[in-house]
Amino acid sequence: MDRNNEEEVIRNYQKGEKMMILLFAQWCINHDLDPVTIYEEAYPYQDKNKELVDALELTVPKQESDHIDPETLLEVLSLYGNDDLAFVVSELISRKDLK
């Protein structure tokens, strides 16, 4: 794989990762949950997540948002290696019966 292809793969991954963060943030908003608090529960030793803060600026009020399927959110979180966050979200879904 040449250098240009490698850079393209990296850019696509980063773009997808940003969409994953936005999906998580919007799902939280749709369920009146604080995405920062949930993220900190999953990753208590990490610094503030700048990408999450940026994504919060792109979310819309829950009345304006499309439904986000919880299974889809969990799959996307796992796809990008956010297993701890997927676990916390899964626990929230089962405890609060979030659809």
Q: Within its chain, how far is the Cα of 48 from the centroid?
A: 14
CB-based contact 23:68 (threshold 8 Å): yes
Check pLDDT > 80 for residue 99. no
b (16+ CB within 10 A) / e for 42-80: beeeeeeeeebeebbeebeeeeeeeebebeebbebbeeb
Check pLDDT > 80 for residue 97. no
Check pLDDT > 80 for residue 1. no
Residue 98 confidence class, pLDDT cut points 50, 70, 90: low
Query: What does the DSSP 8-state code read for residue 49?
Result: -
Q: How far apart are alpha carbons 87 and 99 in whole angstroms? A: 16
**Angle ∠(80,81,87) on CA atoms, nearest 5:** 115
Each residue of 16-61: pLDDT tens digit? 899 999 999 999 999 999 999 999 999 999 988 999 999 999 999 9
